[in-house]
Amino acid sequence: MTRLAYYPGCTLETTAREYDVSARIASREIGLELVELEGWTCCGASSGHATQYELSLALPARNLRLAVEQGFSALVAPCAMCYARMRHTVHDLRDPALRARVNALLDAPWEGDVQVHSLVDLFSQEENLALLREKRQRDLSGLRLVAYYGCLLVRPPEVLSPDDPEYPTMLDRILQAAGATLVDWPLKTECCGGSISLSRTDIALELTRKLLEGAIRRGANGLVTACPMCHANLDMRQGQINRRYGTDFHLPIFYFTQIVGLATGHGVKELLLDRHLTDPRPLLAEAGIRS
């Protein structure tokens, strides 16, 4: 088993609880041992880097220090925002002068190296895809899914090293390995407006609407994401979008780990699929998944 520090991030405890639960379940299936980092605190998300640069590095750096202190050399952050902030921190603090300045903001300096992974990049590694294919227990072909990456898994490419910032396929391959029917679409990396979801909801609704429309236009009956903010916009705001635009969207939004969980035989309730605001259960039932 590969042992990694697990950094859930704030939303995985609350609005994105489904992601946390399904991530732990799915990771066990492919042999990843996730050990929650003790005493972890917020990474600063968008508000950190949007307002104060050193703060935006110090908050993640504290957690990286905890990882080192607790004996980990690798850390995985399921939330795309936390993942991006951690990667930016590792990247920018290669500059020794900056690192010294940021370390001075902490109680104790962060020394040592930590490899920061996203769950997507771990699951899309060839060995893990093979494992997933082996462990398939359900037929998910009735799910026609688009893979939605959003911004924070792929940009900027120098920091996040995606397989391709314009046309990534990591998530696509995971869905294929899980046995779902993959639907190609051109909006894989278009922004949903996550970081202005509260402050400019009107804009976020427009951007999210375009994504929902785009997915349906391609014949998808579900959308898969790896980011709690994207999930929040796409899942929770469908009602608001329908009211504002007179549309009739009911497109279930899945975390990819829930798809992996379903594929490997776990239950609808177990994966908290009943917690979504846009109920995926009718679709799942149609696809032959009732429990």
Partner 1 sequence: MEVGTLKLNLKERPFAGQIRRRIQVDVRDCYQCGRCTAGCPVAGWMDAAPHQILRGIQLEQRDWVLSRNTYWICASCVTCSTRCPCQVDIARVMDALREIALAEGIRPSEKTVKAFHQAFLQWVRLTGRMYEVGLIGLYNLTSGQFLASADLALPMLGHRKVQLLPRRFSGREEVNRIFERVAALEEKG
Partner 2 sequence: MARIGVFVCHCGSNIAATVDVAKVAEEAAKMDHVVYATHYIYMCSTPGQELIQQKIKEYRLDRVVVAACSPRMHERTFRKATAQGGLNPYLMEQANIREHDSWVHAEIPVATEKAIDIVRMAVAKAAGLTPLEETRVGITKRCLVIGGGIAGVQAALDVAEAGYEVVIVEREPSLGGHMAQLDKTFPTLDCSACILTPKLVDAAQHPKIKLYTYSEVVGVKGFVGNFQVTIRRKPRYVDASLCTGCGICWNNCPLRPREQEDGTVKGGIPSRFEAYIGRRAAIYVPFAQAVPLVPVIDTEHCTYFVKGGKCGVCKLKCPRGAVNFEQTEELVTEPFGAIVVATGYDLFDARACGEYGYGRYPDVITGLELERLMNASGPTHGHVLRPSDGRPPKTVVLVSCVGSRDEKIGRPYCSAVCCMYLAKYAIMLKEHDPEVEVYNFYMDIRAAGKDYDEFTRRAIEQYDAHYLRGRVSQVYERDGKLVVEGVDTLLGRPVEIEADLVVLATGLTAPAGARELFQTLNISYNQYEFVNEAHPKLQPVETNTDGIFLAGCVTGPKDIPASVAQASAAAAKVVGVLSKEELVSSPMVAEVNERECVACRLCVQVCPYKAIEMARTRRGKEVARVNPSLCKGCGLCVNACRGAAINLKGFTDQQLVGQVAALFAEPLFEEEERG
180: left (phi > 0), else alpha (psi -120 to 50), else beta? beta
Amino acid at 229: M
In the list 166, 274, 282, 290, the residue contacting partner 2 (rule: CB under 8 A) is 166
Selection from partner 1, partner 2, none that 187 binds (CB < 5 to 8 A by kind) is partner 2
Q: Is 158 in the site for partner 2 (CB under 8 A)?
A: no
Binding window for partner 1 (CB under 8 A); candidates: 126-134, 212-220, 255-263, 273-281: 273-281
* Residues in the chain, overall count: 291
Kindly tell me which of 9 and 214 has the beta carbon lying closer to partner 2: 214
Kindly tell me which of 89 and 195 has the beta carbon lying closer to partner 1: 195
Distance of CA 236 to the CA centre of its chain: 16
Is the separation of the CB atoms in 190 and 170 below 8 Å?
no
Kindly tell me which of 41 and 73 has the beta carbon lying closer to partner 1: 41
Selection from partner 2, partner 1, none that 291 binds (CB < 5 to 8 A by kind) is none
Q: How far is the CB of 166 from partner 2 (least distance, A)?
A: 4
Q: Is 216 in the site for partner 1 (CB under 8 A)?
A: no
Is the separation of the CB atoms in 12 and 252 below 8 Å?
no
**Residues sharing a CB contact under 8 Å with residue 178, sequence separation 6 or more, in sequence order:** 132, 136, 140, 259, 260, 262, 263
Q: Is 275 in the site for partner 1 (CB under 8 A)?
A: yes
Is the separation of the CB atoms in 260 and 29 below 8 Å?
yes
Q: Is 167 in the site for partner 2 (CB under 8 A)?
A: yes
Residues near partner 2, by CB under 8 A: 164-167, 186-187, 214, 217
